[in-house]
């Protein structure tokens, strides 16, 4: 009696019928989940790179201009949306700052010359207080009386796969690029604030 039970048990353990099906049921969801995570991870970096490159392109365009208008801002916004695949939450803010005192030190005094955003209701314009308190570290050292243009862009990243599966949720990708005007000491807005 003892031998037939051991024989049947060994025979059962030695069989390989259906093992591919069982392995598939276990591994296919695991492989698909790893694929989703990897794809989403690389997609986040692709999107971040895309938004930063778009910001640099717009910043370079603005630095080559000597007068920016509201229509120009609208055009830069359209260009940013085009370069970032028509991102629905995109906005752009352009600010010109001037160094007034102690320009070679971190305690320098900066002043906002003008600041505009598009769409206007999406993000507030920057004030001198904002520049002094929140943006001073991002602005490189300047010489006395120098003007710099700050271009900020924002795009909303929406992951293709749910964040519950990948751990990557929707997020704002905000980039800031500081550029020196190329065609003159400063850039005017609507032909105002043109005197250095």
- Does residue 159 belong to any structural domain of this protein? yes
**Would residue 194 count as lying in a domain?**
no
Decide if 196 is inside a domain: no
Measured CA to CA, the distance from residue 116 to residue 127 in angstroms comes to: 10
Give domain status of residue 176, yes or no: yes
Number of domains in the chain: 1
> Residue 101 pairs with which residues in a beta bridge?
109
Show the tokens assigned to 34: 């790893």
Residue 85 lies in a domain: yes
In a domain, 195, yes or no: no
Instruction: State the pTM of this model.
Output: 0.81
Is residue 59, in this structure, part of any structural domain at all?
A: yes
pLDDT, one tens digit for every residue, the chain (196 residues): 456 777 777 777 777 666 777 788 888 999 998 898 899 889 999 999 999 999 999 999 999 998 999 999 999 999 999 999 877 789 999 999 999 888 777 778 899 999 999 988 788 898 999 888 888 888 888 889 899 999 999 999 888 887 787 888 888 999 999 999 998 889 989 877 676 6
Contact 96/147 with Cβ under 8 angstroms? yes
Q: What domain range is 66 assigned to?
A: 2-189
């Amino acid at each position: 009696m003892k031998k037939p039970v051991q024989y049947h048990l060994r025979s059962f353990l030695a069989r390989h019928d259906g093992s591919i099906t069982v392995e598939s049921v276990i591994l296919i969801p695991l492989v698909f989940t790893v694929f989703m995570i990897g794809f989403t991870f690389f997609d986040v970096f692709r999107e971040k790179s895309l938004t930063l490159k778009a910001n640099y392109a717009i910043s370079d365009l603005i630095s080559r201009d000597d007068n920016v208008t509201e229509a120009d801002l609208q055009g830069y916004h359209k260009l940013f949306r085009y370069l970032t695949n028509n991102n629905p939450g995109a906005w752009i803010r352009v600010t010109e700052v001037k160094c007034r005192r102690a320009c070679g030190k971190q305690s320098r005094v900066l002043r906002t010359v003008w600041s505009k955003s598009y769409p206007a209701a999406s993000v507030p314009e920057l004030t001198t207080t904002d520049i002094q308190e929140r943006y001073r570290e991002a602005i490189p050292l300047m010489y006395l009386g120098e003007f710099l243009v700050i271009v900020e862009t924002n795009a909303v990243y929406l992951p293709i796969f749910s964040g519950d599966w990948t751990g990557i949720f929707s997020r704002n990708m905000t980039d800031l690029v500081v550029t020196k005007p190329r065609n003159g000491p400063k850039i005017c807005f609507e032909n105002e604030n043109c005197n250095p």
